[in-house]
A and B are shown apart, each in its own frame.
Chain A
Amino acid sequence: MNTPDESHEIYHEAYVARIWRHFCRDKFARNGLHVIIGLFILAALAPFLANSHALIRVADRHVTFPVLASMQDIEWRFLFYVPLGMLVYFFRRRFFAKTGLHVLLLMGVVILIEIDLKIAHPINDPTNDRDRPALFKLMPPIPWSPIESTPDQFSPPSLKHLCGTDSTGRDIAARMLHGARTSLSIGFVAQSITLLIGVTLGGLAGYYRGWIDIGVCRFIEIMDCFPPLLLILVAISLFDSQNNMFYIMAVIGLTSWTGLARLVRGEFLRLGAQPFPQAARALGASDFRIIVNHLLPNALGPILVSATFGVASAILIESSLSFLGFGMQAPTPSWGDILSDARRYIDFAWWLGLFPGLAILTTIMAYNFVGEGLRDAVDPRLKVK
């Protein structure tokens, strides 16, 4: 590619475009992003990849799509991420033109997708299409559903069960795929909540200063004095809605916004002292417009970096919670839950620990690589090389 003179180019390039260009140069970060996108696609397609129902079934002169009929509310919702991601990707120029507002709107949409105040009760559907006779049927690659118990308990990985089965004979490969949905959406939604609260409170404190600033800082200090897991554990275990995924997301989000709020406040204090917000105000821009269109886009780099690391830590927190028995409860599939099973049967069922452990490791590493790449791209002075 024929690029013009570097130093000249930088002035003509949008902030976000420059970050993106730097980001793409980093091999680790790029691959991390690919892994995350791949995981999202796998998680969205989980019902079609691992299900005890057939994709297409032809019997009694009827063509039916049992998978679609059996899909649960939450599985439909997760599919929204695919068009959402594609929209952001294809309209990235327009999307990033008004970065501040659009990112906040995107987070709002993500929360709306996942908001669900009902307590999930995975239905163990005893019917399956594996043994049902049919003229023609197309089974998913993994013909087991994640909550379906089978007679072969603790079978090691084999062609029948790719990653083995657990204590009640549930297929681990199916549970892993469906558990990806849990982990990914918890990371994403918890961080969206964090972002909305952190940007709002930090932004208000940094922009208006004065007593708002004092109040917000006090509040941050109070929240910061809880050891990280303590408040989450108190909030989750006292309210008996442990199986509501949105509740867990909300608790994680509501307790981890302080770091981001501090960051946004600092950035806004720094940016507010510069001439461009004053110029905007002189031209008659409202406070909202200055915050969203002028200050926020300029603070977005560090915010996104912190948010990316935040997603990783939210996933870690969720899996720790499930592991301790405070997160999503069985039979809802979750990586942490499989690992807590692994703890009980560790003497012989090594596959229970290996696969979810690797999955968590991969996801966290991918997010952390993306975060590192973003940080280097946002502030090239800190770069390792």
Chain B
Amino acid sequence: MTTYITRRILLIFPTLFGITLLTFLLIRLAPGNAALLKGGMGENGGRAMTAEVRDQMIKLYGLDKPWYVAYGDWVGRSLRLDLGNSIVDHRPVVEKIGERLPLTITLAGSALLLSYFIAIPLGVVAAIRRGKFEDRTISFVVFVLYSIPSFAAALLLILVVAGGDYLNLLPMYGASSVNAPDMGPFAWGWDRFVHLILPVVCLTYGSLASISRYSRVSMLEALGQDYVRTARAKGLPRRLVVFRHALRNALIPIITIFALELPVLIGGAIIIEEIFTLPGMGQLMFQSLDTKDEPVIMGITLIAAVVTLLSYLTADILYVVVDPRITFE
């Protein structure tokens, strides 16, 4: 097991190398660069700066080096855990990401938990009542929800429960109220919770469909197994058979698909953060794309890739941990 995990962890590095190289090439191939943008584009009007200043800036940020040299520098620095400074405000990238990562993780994490809590019972009910009214209703409703783009749902929810036109239950945007810094820890926590309700709901229902579908299929498979038939045949109550024999085994594949859902949720969080103007990674990404802030874009890509790869790895390990029939190799 240790050798397997070691090998997997070692394999992460070439993948990370590929991802960052691809992103770096994209940034470098794109026309324009951060220094030009920062200087107001020079030529026609605006806050034009002289050619010397611009050249100095390009040199300072290493934008004049060929891409392979610049990428090599970046890799070298990253290996020493230094992601550089933002071109726009000269703050360390690690710091900029660090203050935004918790919010995105909270968002994606709670959406993941919530969708599991709702989707598994739905899937189990649909499987038990296969082909009946409950199954068809659940499948249909989940299906319709899945077809609504998250931003359209967000608009609708804002309009109905947050705008003040119909109901004014929840805040419309932001991650906390204006006076949040003066609040006590409990009030602050409650305030944050209230602000995150709508974003989490919007983020949740997309993955609801896939998880409930998975759990339905997995439950159906478990219910069709010989040991379930045996349990039924020896006269165990139905409840016991469903929950103790079938559900426990059905949960194995469901638990591991969280790894597939997490990247999807992080991607979805980008949109949700933009709609609700939450100061998370998504917003930082948009800002840095606008200013072509190379170090920050690279940093975000790296962090996102590491999170994704680690969740894949965790899923693979969990798979073996929860199911003793499977061994590494």
A222: contacting residue among B19, B136, B139, B147, CB under 8 A? B19
- Tell me which residues across on chain B come within 8 A of A347, comparing CB atoms: 163, 165
Bound complex: CA of A160 vs CA of B203, how far in Å? 38
Q: Does B53 contact A (CB under 8 A)?
A: no
B271 touches A324 (CB 8 A): yes
Q: Mark B1-44, 1 if CB is under 8 A from A, else 0.
A: 00000000000001100110011001101111000000000000
Q: Is B305's CB under 8 angstroms from A320's CB?
A: no
Complex alpha-carbon distance, A342 and B152, angstroms: 10
Q: Collect the chain B residues with CB atoms within 8 Å of residue A234's CB.
A: 23, 26-27, 289, 297, 301
Are the C-beta atoms of A233 and B270 separated by less than 8 Å?
yes
Judging by beta carbons under 8 Å apart, are A229 and B158 in contact?
Answer: no
Cβ-Cβ contact count across A and B, 8 Å cutoff: 131
Interface size class of A (residues with CB under 8 A): 35 or more
Q: How far is the CB of B13 from chain A (nearest CB, A)?
A: 12
Given contacts A222-B18, A346-B158, contact A237 B290 (CB under 8 A): yes
Decide if A316 is an interface residue (CB 8 Å cutoff): yes
Q: Are A238 and B26 in contact (CB under 8 A)?
A: yes
A269 to chain B, nearest CB (A): 19
Q: Report the Cα distance A41→B313, complex, angstroms.
A: 47
A172 to chain B, nearest CB (A): 15
Q: Across the interface, do B15 and A361 meet the contact criterion of CB distance under 8 Å?
A: no
- Give the nearest-CB partner of A382 in chain B: B217
- Indicate if the CB atoms of A339 and B18 lie closer than 8 Å: no
Q: Which of B79-87, B177-185, B233-241, B260-268 contacts A (4 or more CB under 8 A)?
A: B260-268
- Residue A287 at the B interface, CB < 8 A? no
Partner of A384 from the list B135, B155, B163 (CB cut-off 8 Å) is B135
Using CB atoms, name the residue of chain A closest to B27. Answer: A238
What chain A residues lie within 8 Å of B315 (beta carbons)? none
CA distance A10 to B274 in the complex (A): 53
8 Å CB contacts to A: which residues of B291-322?
292, 297, 300-301, 304-305, 308-309
Contact yes or no, B264 A227, CB < 8 A: yes
In the complex, chain A residues whose CB is within 8 Å of the CB of B158: 346
* A-B pairs with lowest CB-CB distance, top 4: A238-B30, A227-B267, A222-B18, A228-B267
Listed A/B pairs (19) with beta-carbon separation below 8 Å = A222-B19, A227-B270, A229-B268, A230-B285, A233-B270, A239-B29, A240-B31, A316-B149, A320-B149, A324-B271, A339-B155, A357-B148, A361-B152, A364-B148, A364-B149, A372-B143, A384-B135, A384-B139, A385-B131
